[in-house]
A and B are shown apart, each in its own frame.
Chain A
């Protein structure tokens, strides 16, 4: 069955960096675009970034552009989100999701990122 497992979340100070990983299994990872979505309680769900199946095309929300980098390693069935210059308002649970025709069919369980001094 399809499984997506995020890791790498934690507590960091403003300005610091963090790298999230998403390990995929149960499907041919290299066939699908992947997405990062974040959720702040009481605020809702926010799209963060997309990457094409090959990794050659990436997109970012304006709120993270220039600070976050999405990447993937199809040989390792893994998706990544490198987050630099973190801000307090980046605090959220980050989900990776498998994308099919703009549908987010499968989601991971989420990784909590807390940015606080």
Chain B
């Protein structure tokens, strides 16, 4: 199985801050990396796919980059509705997709 790690596990940010979350795969996954946002009691929501493509309807303050084993999710100008947990997920090895452990973004 491809193992996914994320850092940090949690962070605090103020409105308007720029936030960067890192995801690392245990082996190269090309650009088969997706990002999800999850709010408490809700299902995850697809934000970004193939490392850098924004899902329809997702605000442009979200961006993704990376390839191979190292990826980043950036939220520029954090808004109140962005406080949530963010997960990366590899779709290189299927069946058997795997997720990172998540990064919780809360209010500073």
Report the bound CA distance from A108 to B45 in whole Å: 10
Please encode chain A, from 74 to 108, with 1 for each CB lying within 8 Å of some chain B CB and 0 for all others.
00000000000000000000010000001111011
Q: Name the CB-closest residue of A to B34.
A: A103
Q: Smallest CB–CB gap between B93 and chain A, Å?
A: 10
Chain B residues lying within 8 Å of A95, measured Cβ to Cβ, are: 43-44
Interface of B is mostly: loop
Report the bound CA distance from A109 to B44 in whole Å: 9
Q: Does the CB pair B91–A102 fall under 8 Å?
A: yes
Chain A residues lying within 8 Å of B59, measured Cβ to Cβ, are: none
Report the bound CA distance from A105 to B91 in whole Å: 13
Is B49 in the interface zone, CB < 8 Å from A?
yes
CB-CB under 8 A for A109 and B91, given A44-B99, A44-B102, A47-B97: no
B-side residues, CB < 8 A to A, are 32, 34, 36, 42-46, 49, 55, 87, 89, 91, 94-102
Name the 10 nearest CB pairs between A and B, nearest first. A102-B91, A107-B43, A59-B95, A45-B99, A44-B101, A47-B97, A50-B95, A103-B49, A102-B94, A95-B43
